[in-house]
A and B are shown apart, each in its own frame.
Chain A
C-alpha cells in the first residue's frame, strides 16, 4: 500500500537521496512529497518539530528523522532483501564510522568549497581533497566500501557525487586527478538503478547551489 510510506523530500538534498536509494534497493513503494523549503508544510513541521528538516520518512503515520537513522530503520524493517548494513557487529561499526566520516568531513568542507571564497574556500579545498584521499584509502581494491556488496557507507557517500561538478568548478581542481579510484567507485554505483534514479543531474545541482550561494552572499 503506497500511502503507507511517505518521504518528505527535496530533489537536491544529498540526505534525501540516501533515503531514496535505500528505499529503491529494497524495492519499497512509497509516496515522495517534494517540500518547498522556503515554505515548509505543516506536515513537515509536525513530523520533525525539532529540526524542521527533510528527509522525514513517515511509516504507518509515524515519523523517522535523520538520513542515516532512516536508512538503518529501513534496513531493519525490510531486513529480508538487499541488506545494507553487514551482519557482524565489527563490520557494522566500521560502516557506521565511515558514514559518520562523510557527515563530519565531506559535507561541511564540501559546502565551503562551493559556498565560500578566498582563504576559507582554499583551506576547505585542501581538507576536502585530503578527506577524499582518506576515503579512497579505506575503499582500497574493493568494488564498494562494504566489500563485494553495495552497502551503508556507499549509500551515505554516493549522493555527494552530485556535488562533484560544483566542487570542481568552484574549487578549480580535478577530483579524478586527485582520487581516480573514488571516481571509478562513484561510476560503479551509478550503474545501479537505485542510485541513478535517485540522483539528479550534476549540472542542475550546480545551478541550484549557485543560486543558494548568491542568496547567502546577499545577506
Chain B
C-alpha cells in the first residue's frame, strides 16, 4: 500500500499543483483518478465536506484543499523548501498565495459570455496588473531565483490561461502589456518538473472547447 496517495482529475490545475510539489520534493505517490461526474467512495470518504479533488492521503489520513495540502507537504518533507524561512517573508508569500486562490481562475472564464464575460475580462485584467506590478515585479520567479509555492499557486497562468484564451478567442494576457508575466510564464514552463508535468495542450483545448459549447447551450 503506497504511503502517499493523490486523488485528482486531469486537467484540474489544482491537482497539478500537488503533482508539481510532490515531484519537486521527490516524494513517491500513487495517483488515483476521480470521475467528478460519478464521485467514488474514496473521495466521499476522504473529503466528505467539499467532495472535491485534490485530496492527499498520507498514511491513511486525508488532507484537502490544494494550498493546505501544499503547506502540509512542505512541513512534512522540508527538503527543497518552497516557502521562505523568515516569518515575515512567509506572510508575504501566503498573501500572494491567497490572492492567486481568490482571483486567478481562468477555467471559470471558459463558461462566460456576454455581460458576464465583459466583467470577467475587467476582473482578469485587474488581477494581471496587480500580479505584474505588486507580486512579480522584477523577479524571475515569484519565489526569487527559483520557484516556490507562490509560483505554484499562480501556475494556472501558464498553460491553462492560454488554453482558455484560445477557446474563447479573448486575449487576456497581452505580452506587450504584461511583459514580466509573459517572461515568467516562459520561465515557469521551462522548469524541468513543470515542463514534464503539464497537461497536453491539444487534449485540454478540445476538452474545454466542448465544455464551453455545452455550458453556453445550457444558458
Contacts and interface: CB of A to CB of B under 8 A. Distances in A.
B58 to A, nearest CB: 8
Given A50-B130, A97-B64, A101-B49, A69 B98 contact: yes
Interface stretch (B8-16, B65-73, B115-123): B65-73
Contact of B75 (A66, A89, A97): A89
A111 interface: no
B99 interface: yes
Interface in B130-167: 130, 134
Contact of A62 (B49, B64, B88): B88
Interface residues of A, number: 22
Contacts, number: 54
A66 B63 contact: no
Interface in B70-109: 71-72, 75-76, 87-88, 90-92, 94-95, 98-99
A100 B94 CA distance: 13
Contacts of B87: 73, 76-77
Contacts of A73: 87-88, 90-91
Contact of B99 (A49, A50, A93, A96): A50
Which interface residue of A50, A76, A134 has the most chain B CB atoms within 10 A? Answer: A50
A134 B50 CA distance: 11
A134 B49 contact: yes
A70 B64 contact: no
A93 B88 contact: no
Interface in A56-93: 59, 62, 64-66, 69-70, 72-73, 76-77, 89-90, 92-93
B105 to A, nearest CB: 14
Interface string A92-111: 11001100110000000000
Contacts of A62: 88
Contacts of B130: 50
Given A50-B130, A93-B63, A64 B72 contact: no
Contacts of B76: 89
A100 B75 contact: no
B95 A90 contact: no
Given A49-B134, A69-B98, A100 B63 contact: no
Nearest to B56: A93
B61 interface: yes
A166 B64 CA distance: 32
Nearest to A89: B75
B71 A96 contact: yes
Given A65-B95, A69-B94, A69-B95, A97 B88 contact: no
A70 B91 contact: yes
Contacts of B94: 66, 69, 72
Contact of A89 (B64, B72, B88, B92): B72
Contacts of B58: 90
Which interface residue of A59, A64, A97, A134 has the most chain B CB atoms within 10 A? Answer: A97
Nearest to A76: B87
Contacts of A49: 134
Given A59-B88, A64-B91, A64-B95, 12 more contacts: A50-B130, A64-B88, A65-B95, A69-B91, A69-B98, A73-B88, A89-B76, A92-B72, A93-B63, A96-B65, A96-B68, A100-B65
Interface of B: 49, 58, 61, 63-65, 68-69, 71-72, 75-76, 87-88, 90-92, 94-95, 98-99, 130, 134
Interface of A: 49-50, 59, 62, 64-66, 69-70, 72-73, 76-77, 89-90, 92-93, 96-97, 100-101, 134
13 contacts: A50-B99, A64-B88, A64-B91, A66-B98, A69-B98, A76-B87, A89-B72, A93-B68, A93-B69, A93-B72, A96-B68, A97-B63, A100-B68
